[in-house]
Structure 1
Amino acid sequence: MSYPLASAKQIEKTPSNEDGIPKDLEEDLREYGCKLINQAGVLLKQKQVALATAQILFQRFWYVSSMKAFGIGHMGMGALYLASKLEECPIRMRDLINVYDLLLQRISHTSAGKAGDDFRYAPMSYFGNTFYELKDAVVVGEMQLLKRLGFNTQVVLPYGTLVNYLRLLGLASDPEVCNRAWGYLNDGLQTPVYALYQMPSIVSAAILLTVRHLQIPLPSSSPDRWWELFDAPWEDVWSVCGYIMRLYRERTPEETTRPSRLLQKQDVRKWLEERGYR
């Protein structure tokens, strides 16, 4: 195996599940944390490889740690900071802190029921407590990622594999196919699939979703099933598709706003206490 995947025991019951956090809420918090990483990376003009690496490390972390002990906001900062070093496109800590402070203020503004157009960012004091609290959060987040992942930060990204697969299937010259499949791979970063499945299954799932949406026929009957060309088990491919399509489901107002209220570990602990968990 060229990169680490979660064990069957970790998948069956994550540390967050053991602490009473429902599976659907954990998945929503994972997704929201990855969205914050992506938003911060775009504002910082980071490379896509760094954003993808940060989100994969972030997803792996929750198979060895609980959201009761670590907040998704702070761990997202640590993951992005660490990934920027791993992919040799480092960012200044001050810039990272400023961007996350902006995002957190905007989240607080919208969570209070105020219109997004009314938001005005209030820059933090250079020597204020907020800066030093977020600075400590970045350092601790990066340290905990390295410690709990056993310094195993090897990440295999899917983009080169996608290009090769599309060439073999004769689809590489179609820009709509390439763009849509690339988009599904990026959507998958918001889910745990990169910590659960081998790369051929993930890339095959992105291609499957693409060709079905665009109604492009590919051989799918025995013995000429196209995904078997890439040694991708159908059960894994179909499961990855399910994770990705879950992102597009209709959500209730509560499901939409709940993750933004549980960014920090103290918020999660309060949520658990209100429901009888200790």
Structure 2
Amino acid sequence: MAGERSTDESWYFTEEELKYQTASRADNISFEEEEKLRRVGAGFIQDVGESIRVPQLTIATASIFFQRFYVYQSFKEYDVNIMATCCLFLAGKVEETPKKARDVIIHSARIEGKPKMSEDSTEFKNLKDQVLKCERLLLQTISFDLAVEHAYKYLLQYVKDIKGDRSLAQTAWNFVNDSLRTTLGLRYKPQVIACAGILLSSKYNKSALSETSDGKKWWSAFVDVSEDTLKYIGDEIIKLYPPDQLAVFNAMAASDGEDRGR
């Protein structure tokens, strides 16, 4: 899968393409290591984005830029944190929530644990130069295609349409946030991820979601996708959580099952 993607092509890939044909795989970086680096980079974007107080939509756009970039560029060649910083800087401009390069870089350095630096320092100037150079490379790699559609708006509309409550929506929103640390956004459309987030949220919120008037699953009104696919997406999100958090989720699900059995 060499080369850059032209602007008229879709930004969706098969599982096989992402597992075997990325630039990192050509550099002998394993699939497991690449997944780990993608999680690290997206997590870094989330942390820095919250630190500089940009909206979640900006953080999400930066995360998608990051995920797309590393389909065609290798983690061996480009530093995770520099590229994550660059993606957040560009996303701020794209989503009309711009932050000065100085602020993004200084907050990124702080999150990374580097000593406090001034704008006059050689280290700051070097970092800024790297970020701006990476921005040009990022734009070239994604073919200047800055359009990114997210699951959030669909999630909120779907929850409203099925008469779900605030808790259902909030937990689903959190799951969608976490999906940004995976390649799910490179494999499934935002409408599908929104439905997967809602289905997963309903499992842990004890929300019984009604079927449609003609007896079909609730999501069939929004997307043409199987329950297995939605559950698979949910499983991929759940795998991100540490064992102690998984234990809490599983206890909630078990409690849900007991309540329904009474």
Q: TM-score band, normalised by the shorter chain?
A: 0.7 to 0.9
- CA–CA distance in structure 2, aligned partners of residues 197 and 246 of structure 1: 17
- What is the aligned counterpart of 1:229 among 207, 221, 224? 221
> Is the 8 Å Cα contact of residues 102 and 119 (structure 2) preserved in structure 1?
no
The answer as to 2:32 corresponding to 1:24 is yes
Q: Alignment partner for residue 154 of structure 1, among 126, 147, 155?
A: 147
Give aligned pairs, total: 234
Which amino acid counterpart does residue 162 of structure 2 have in structure 1? L
Larger RCO: Structure 1 or Structure 2 (Cα < 8 Å, ≥ 6 residues apart)? 1
> Residue 204 of structure 1: which of 179, 191, 195 is its match?
195
Per-residue CA shift, 1:75-96, capped at 9, x if unaligned?
A: 1011001000001111111111
- Superposition map of 1:46-125 within 5 A: 46-105=54-113, 122-125=115-118
Name 1:238's counterpart in structure 2: 231
Partner of 1:45: 53
Deviation sequence 1:91-122 (CA, Å, 0-9, x none): 1111111111111226xxxxxxxxxxxxxxx3
Q: RMSD of aligned C-alpha atoms? A: 2.3
Q: Secondary structure at the match of 2:104?
A: helix
In the alignment, the residues of structure 2 paired with residue 213 and residue 157 of structure 1 have an alpha-carbon distance, to the nearest angstrom, of 23
Cα distance, 1:31–1:155 mapped onto 2, change above 3 Å? same
Q: Percent identity?
A: 29
Query: Following the alignment from structure 1 to structure 2, what is the Cα–Cα distance between the partners of residues 236 and 66?
Result: 29
Match of residue 6 from structure 1: 13
Q: Distance in 2 between matches of 1:94 and 1:231?
A: 42
1:27 deviates by 1.2
1:10–1:63 Cα contact (<8 Å) kept: no
Q: CA separation in 2, counterparts of 1:214 and 1:247?
A: 19
- Which residues of structure 1 form unaligned runs of 5+? 107-121, 252-278
Tell me, in whole angstroms, the C-alpha distance in 1 between the residues paired with 2:13 and 2:147.
14
- C-alpha deviation, 1:224, in angstroms: 1.2
Paired with 2:87 and 2:97, the residues of 1 have a C-alpha distance of 14
Q: Structure 1 length normalisation: TM-score?
A: 0.77
After TM superposition, the runs of 4+ consecutive aligned structure 1 residues lying more than 6 A away are none
Match in the other structure for 2:175: 184
Per the TM alignment, residue 239 of structure 1 is displaced from its structure 2 partner at its CA by: 2.6
Distance 1:65 1:237 in 2: 29
Residue among 157, 160, 168 paired with 1:164: 157
State the Cα deviation string for residues 136-175 of structure 1 (Å, max 9, x = none).
121122111110111112100221111111122111xx22
TM-score where L is the length of structure 2: 0.82
What residue ranges of structure 2 are gaps of 5+ in the alignment? 1-7, 245-262
Contact 1:177–1:210 under 8 Å retained in 2: yes
After superposition, what is the alpha-carbon deviation per residue over 1:166-191, rounded to whole angstroms, capped at 9, x for unaligned? 122111xx221111111111111111
SS in structure 2 of the partner of residue 236 of structure 1: helix
Q: Secondary structure at the match of 1:167?
A: helix
Is the 8 Å Cα contact of residues 3 and 155 (structure 1) preserved in structure 2? no
